[in-house]
Amino acid sequence: MNYANVGETDRSLESGETNMLISADRVQGTAVYDKDSEKVGSVDSIMLNKYTGKVAYSVMSFGGFLGIGERYHPLPWDVLDYDVDLGGYKLKQLGAELTEAPHYSRSEIDNRDYVGNPAVGSWYGASPIV
């Protein structure tokens, strides 16, 4: 993560965003790009550990049209890198590679069937989602 300009206050807290903080509702819908800066999806939701308050993971919607054929990818939070120039989050993978990543349907993502699945974290080279 790039912490350049930490301490600057070019945005007010009323906007729900500073250089280091952002309101969760502003993250939903934010674009997600692959390593070639091609848009591959957007943040559907953010899951917080209710005991620690830390972000456990985000869910990226990927593919489909008007909700048809859309897949949902749980992403360990630490695999997302915010890119100021793109105004979105960037992954280290190519979009084509994401077709092989663990993904779920809307009903599966809503039921959190992937929590504790070590394949999710290991596919991205991160800790398992818990």
- CATH number for the domain including 109? 2.30.30.240
Domain that includes residue 95, residue range: 28-123
If one counts the domains in the chain, the total is: 1
Rounded to 5°, angle at Cα 94 from 93 and 95: 120
Of residues 16 and 24, more confidence is placed in 24
Tens-digit pLDDT profile for residues 65-121: 666 678 888 888 889 999 999 999 999 999 889 888 888 887 787 666 666 667 778
pTM above 0.85, yes or no: no
> What's the confidence (pLDDT) of residue 5?
45
